[in-house]
């Protein structure tokens, strides 16, 4: 793990930082070669394929510069593992690129590395290598995560068929509500701890890795909910050449979110399109419903049926009366 560029601020320096904070994160992955080489070695077991996903986070865009470094590390790793979960993959290893402002202190990287270590222990993955550079712009951080799936079994966005049901894990809307709280554009909910819960869902999302075997067994298509439920369902609809109908009354929401909705019903559109949930939305044959709900419950991941797949194109969201709901936008746009 190396990287030419402007030197780090007074302190350990680039290679001292790698030695102290990053090399220990690679200790559990032999192919990392102790971060002493220009590349890592990855063995793919017979009968499996490698799944690769990459996500970047930029200060002021994906996280607030004031967010705790351990929370930033948790989220950076989690958003990549959320992609692997939606593909039905088991985590293997990851590479890390850090673009840090020159005045970033050693203590920031120490806390960031500690957050990565917590995530590694939680999700069974290790650092394989990467790069470190200095930047005059905002902090930017990138992870490429590697996972394994049985050959030919990766769950794609394409594959949804008319007659399938649409399912989603967890709750929808907590991430964007947490962001609104963090930015001060939304009042904290009255419920004790409700605001803290929503902020934690924003800063420390939980990738639905235990759901991967359920997806491999039942899903016809899947995506992780990062850009917003409607947008990510739209990705499935477009890739599969189908129309998806979502019943908004069945979309699961948390108790703190429900309390806010009772006071400000207009928040529903933000919750359906705002993103940052890192849940999994997937389609599956209708006759698999009971098996899916039972398997997901056994895996400890709540799953809810929220819609259906039809002939046609696009996404339609219905209100409680069964009428199309006007949302104004579909989700997060990167450009």
The predicted-structure confidence for 185-202, as pLDDT tens digits, reads as follows 998 876 657 899 999 999
Annotated binding residues, written as ranges, equal: 38, 53-55, 62, 83, 130-131, 157, 224, 226-227, 276, 332
> Looking at the domain assignment, is residue 264 inside a domain?
yes
Contact (Cβ atoms closer than 8 angstroms) between residue 97 and residue 133:
yes
Domain CATH for 204: 3.90.650.10
Annotated binding residues for Mg(2+), written as ranges, equal: 38, 53-55, 83, 131, 224, 227
> Looking at the domain assignment, is residue 323 inside a domain?
no
Q: Which residue has the higher pLDDT, 310 or 1?
A: 310
Annotated binding residues for ATP, written as ranges, equal: 130-131, 157, 226
54 and 121 together in one domain: yes
What domain range is 117 assigned to?
13-150
> Looking at the domain assignment, is residue 59 inside a domain?
yes
184 and 284 together in one domain: yes
Best CA proximity match to 209, nearest among 82, 74, 94 = 82
Annotated binding residues for substrate, written as ranges, equal: 62, 276, 332
pLDDT of residue 334: 40
At 110, the pLDDT band (50, 70, 90 cuts) reads very high
Q: How far apart are CA 49 and CA 255, in angstroms?
A: 40
80 and 22 together in one domain: yes
179 and 298 together in one domain: yes
Q: Could you report the per-residue pLDDT of 269-278, keeping only the tens digit for each?
A: 999 999 999 9
187 and 142 together in one domain: no
194 and 123 together in one domain: no
Alpha-carbon torsion (270, 273, 277, 281), positive or negative: positive
Q: Could you report the per-residue pLDDT of 219-268, keeping only the tens digit for each?
A: 999 999 999 999 999 999 999 999 999 999 999 999 999 999 999 999 99
At 333, the pLDDT band (50, 70, 90 cuts) reads very low
Backbone angles phi, psi at 263, to 5 degrees: -90, -35
310 and 181 together in one domain: yes
> Looking at the domain assignment, is residue 271 inside a domain?
yes
Report the number of distinct structural domains present in the chain.
2
Q: How far apart are CA 289 and CA 300, in angstroms?
A: 17
Other C-beta atoms closer than 10 Å to the C-beta of 104 total 20
The yes-or-no verdict on residue 64 having pLDDT over 70 is yes
> Looking at the domain assignment, is residue 335 inside a domain?
no
96 and 34 together in one domain: yes
122 and 170 together in one domain: no
Domain CATH for 66: 3.30.1330.10
> Looking at the domain assignment, is residue 137 inside a domain?
yes
List strand residue ranges (DSSP E) for the chain, in order. Answer: 48-58, 90-101, 126-135, 140-150, 164-169, 221-225, 243-247, 279-285, 303-310, 314-318
The yes-or-no verdict on residue 8 having pLDDT over 70 is no
300 and 186 together in one domain: yes
Write down the pTM of the prediction: 0.91
132 and 173 together in one domain: no
150, 182, 209: which is the final residue of a domain? 150
């Amino acid at each position: 793990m190396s990287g030419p560029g402007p030197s780090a601020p007074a302190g350990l320096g680039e290679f001292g930082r790698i030695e102290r904070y990053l090399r220990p994160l690679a200790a559990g992955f032999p192919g990392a070669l102790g971060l002493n080489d220009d590349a890592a070695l990855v063995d793919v077991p017979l009968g499996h394929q490698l799944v690769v996903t990459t996500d970047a986070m930029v200060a002021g865009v994906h996280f607030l510069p004031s967010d705790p470094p351990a929370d930033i590390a948790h989220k950076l790793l989690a958003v990549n593992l959320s992609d692997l979960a939606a593909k039905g993959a088991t985590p293997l290893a990851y590479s890390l690129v850090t673009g840090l402002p020159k005045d970033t202190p050693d203590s920031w990287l120490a806390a960031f590395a500690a957050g990565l270590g917590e995530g590694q222990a939680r999700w069974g993955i290790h650092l394989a290598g990467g790069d470190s550079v200095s930047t005059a712009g905002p902090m930017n951080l990138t992870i490429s995560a590697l996972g394994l799936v049985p050959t030919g079994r990766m769950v794609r966005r394409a594959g949804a068929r008319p007659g399938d049901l649409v399912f989603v894990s967890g709750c929808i809307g907590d991430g964007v509500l947490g962001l609104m709280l963090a930015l001060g554009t939304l009042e904290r909910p009255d419920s004790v701890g409700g605001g803290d819960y929503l902020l934690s869902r924003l800063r420390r999302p939980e990738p639905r890795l235990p759901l991967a075997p359920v997806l491999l067994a039942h899903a016809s298509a899947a995506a992780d909910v990062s850009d917003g439920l409607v947008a990510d369902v739209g990705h499935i609809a477009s890739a599969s050449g189908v129309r998806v109908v979502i019943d908004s009354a069945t979309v699961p929401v948390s108790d703190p979110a429900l309390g806010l909705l009772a006071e400000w019903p207009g928040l529903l559109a933000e919750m359906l399109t705002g993103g940052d949930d890192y849940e999994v939305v997937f389609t599956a044959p209708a006759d698999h419903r009971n098996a899916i709900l039972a398997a997901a419950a056994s895996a400890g991941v709540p799953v809810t049926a929220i819609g259906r797949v039809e002939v046609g194109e696009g996404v339609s969201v219905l209100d409680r009366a069964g009428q199309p709901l006007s949302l104004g936008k579909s989700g997060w746009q990167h450009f």
